[in-house]
């Protein structure tokens, strides 16, 4: 994919900036080298065009930081070529139609005999915020879920630069958690920030660190057919009970621009005397469909919702040279038609009708504006998701 970086800088820095622009970049594929405009146009004084599969890559960030250190303000934007855009639009629209057809076609019976747990503990091992300096944060998700009888690892984080040990394993060690402390692994969906990095997505697998370690005889539940050395993951496309009081609501599909048809599952955990706590990875399914599916499957009321819902209203968790990747991608909408505050408020009102007692929105894929909106809407129910801080129910 091609990107254009627009530059704004003071002319007294021109000589130094030209020096940077004339340097050979062996690690970056430059399509159109650094250019200076004849005159300032809407704050833009220059630009460069390059090609990269990922604007977040360390190579691209290192390259652009050379300019930033010289006082250059940078705004990064993707370039949509007509042929490429036409193809991607066709894929998006066809996948959107397929997702809606699946939603209308899938009819499920009530899940009986789910059982319940007296206590529920959710410990964020990976997410975007933490109050402890000794714990790692990243734009991914991994939660350790404990009930009376079972422990479940829900997603395995991002590990963006493929460190070993990964941020997940580092945090586990700091929190006194070992591989023996959980028996089940659930993957919400096949995205890099949930399967341990983008390198694993293509091969439809996952990893807790840079190398796939021995996981013994753990049970693994995945939203699509996936593999792992020495294990046979169970594809939990349809709703099913995973343990006493714990079920997956099955996958719900959505069309994501540049990603295609994405299937994601969430967990529903029945806490005795309270109701269902829904644990979500990214929320690509959309909040209304997650709620509707849960209400179709169970008689118990919804008590709470914890995890990611992908609400990058007015931005997102990170900004890269003026570009908000979460705002443009993964929303189930086209990049130039982002999620609005009005849509966010509609979803909040939809959830309010269920009168939840616990609402915790992950910051890994939502903006601070959206998190504040949730906190304002649910002042008594809202909780922060911080790595290393347990959310205890019951």
Paired tokens of 75: 């705004």
162 is a domain residue: yes
Q: Answer yes or no: do 72 and 206 share one domain.
A: no
Tell me whether residue 270 is in a domain.
Answer: yes
| 120 and 145 share one domain | yes
The values of phi and psi at residue 368, to 5°, are -65, -30
Kindly write down the DSSP assignment for every residue of 131-192, as one continuous string. Answer: S-TTS---SS-EEEEE-SS-EEEE-----TT--SS-HHHHHHHHTT--GGG-SEEE---S-H
Of 26, 53, 79, which closes a domain?
79
Taking a C-beta distance cutoff of 8 angstroms, is the pair 214, 173 a contact? no
Q: 59 falls in which pLDDT band (50, 70, 90)?
A: confident
What is the rounded average pLDDT of the residues 195-222? 97
Which tokens belong to 348? 């909040």
46, 79, 112: which is the final residue of a domain?
A: 79
Same structural domain for residues 60 and 102? no
245 in the same domain as 102: yes
And the tokens for 372?
């504040």
- Residue 41: how many CB atoms within 10 A of its CB? 9
Q: Which of 79, 107, 122 is the last residue of a domain?
A: 79
On whether both 303 and 196 belong to a single domain, the answer is yes
Q: Residues 37, 146: one domain? A: no
35/153 same-domain check: no
Residue 175 lies in a domain: yes
Whether residue 26 is predicted with pLDDT greater than 70 in this model: the reply is no
Residue 87 inside a domain? The answer is: no
- Do 29 and 53 lie in a common domain? yes
How many beta carbons lie within 10 A of that of residue 104, not counting itself? 8
Closest CA to 220 of 249, 242, 192, 244: 242
Say whether both 71 and 105 belong to one domain.
Answer: no
371: in domain: yes
The CATH number covering residue 34 comes to: 3.30.70.100
**What digits encode the pLDDT tens for the residues 287-304?**
999 999 999 999 999 999
CATH number, domain containing residue 258 = 3.60.15.10
Amino acid 286: pLDDT: 98
Examine the domain organization and report whether 67 and 193 are in the same domain.
no
DSSP state letters, 263-304: EEEEEEEEETTTEEEEEESS-TT-HHHHHHHHHHH-SSPEEE
pLDDT at 9: 83
Tell me, what's the pLDDT at 34? 79
**CB 277, CB 246: distance < 8 Å:** no
Q: What are the residue ranges of helices labelled H in the chain?
A: 14-21, 58-68, 82-105, 167-174, 192-195, 287-297, 325-328, 341-352, 368-377
Q: How confident is the model at residue 25 (pLDDT cuts 50, 70, 90)?
A: low
Residues 148 and 8 placed together within one structural domain of the fold: no
User: In this structure, are 38 and 143 located in the same domain?
Assistant: no
Render pLDDT for 130-164 as a digit per residue (tens, 0 to 9): 999 999 999 999 999 999 999 999 999 999 999 99
When mean pLDDT is compared across 38-47, 70-79, 196-205, the lowest value belongs to 38-47
By residue range, what is the domain housing residue 200? 94-393
Helix (H, G, I), strand (E, B) or coil at 310: coil
User: Would you say residue 177 lies in a domain?
Assistant: yes
Count of domains for the chain: 2
Lowest mean per-residue pLDDT among 15-24, 135-144, 345-354: 15-24
Measured in degrees and rounded to the nearest 5, phi and psi for residue 3 equal -130, 150
Weakest mean pLDDT among 58-72, 122-136, 182-196, 269-283: 58-72
């Amino acid at each position: 994919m091609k990107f254009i970086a627009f530059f704004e800088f003071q002319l007294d820095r021109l000589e130094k900036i030209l020096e940077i622009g004339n340097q050979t970049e062996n690690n970056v594929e430059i399509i159109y080298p650094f250019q200076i405009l004849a005159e300032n146009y809407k704050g833009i004084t220059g630009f460069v065009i390059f090609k990269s599969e990922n604007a977040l890559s360390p190579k691209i960030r290192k390259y652009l930081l050379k300019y930033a250190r010289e006082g250059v303000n940078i705004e990064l934007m993707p370039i949509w070529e007509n042929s490429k855009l036409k193809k991607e639009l066709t894929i998006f629209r066809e996948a959107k139609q397929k997702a809606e057809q699946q939603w209308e076609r899938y009819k499920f019976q009530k899940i009986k005999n789910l059982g319940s747990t007296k206590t529920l503990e959710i410990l964020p091992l990976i997410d975007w915020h933490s109050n402890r300096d000794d714990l790692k944060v990243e734009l991914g998700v991994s939660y350790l879920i404990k009930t009376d009888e079972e422990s479940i690892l829900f997603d395995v984080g991002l590990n963006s630069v493929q460190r070993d040990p990964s941020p997940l394993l580092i945090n586990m060690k700091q929190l006194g958690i070992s591989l023996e402390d959980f028996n089940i692994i659930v993957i919400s969906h096949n995205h890099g920030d949930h399967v341990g990095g983008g390198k694993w997505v293509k091969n439809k697998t996952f990893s807790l660190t840079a190398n796939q370690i021995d996981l013994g005889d753990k049970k693994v539940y995945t939203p699509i057919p996936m593999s792992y050395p020495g294990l046979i993951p169970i594809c939990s496309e349809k709703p099913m009970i995973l343990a006493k009081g714990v079920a997956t609501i099955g996958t719900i599909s959505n069309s994501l621009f540049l990603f295609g048809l994405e299937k994601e599952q969430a967990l529903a955990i029945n806490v005795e005397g309270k109701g269902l706590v829904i644990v979500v990875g990214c929320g690509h399914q959309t909040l209304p469909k997650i709620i509707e599916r849960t209400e179709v499957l169970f008689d118990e009321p919804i008590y709470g919702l914890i995890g990611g819902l992908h609400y990058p209203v007015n931005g997102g968790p990170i900004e890269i040279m003026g570009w908000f990747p979460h705002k443009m991608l993964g929303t189930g909408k086209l990049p130039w038609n982002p999620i609005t505050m009005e849509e966010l408020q509609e979803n909040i009102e939809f959830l309010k009708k269920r009168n939840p007692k616990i609402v915790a929105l992950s910051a890994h894929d939502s903006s601070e504006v959206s998190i504040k909106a949730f906190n304002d809407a649910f002042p008594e129910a809202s909780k922060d998701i911080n790595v290393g801080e347990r959310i205890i129910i019951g």
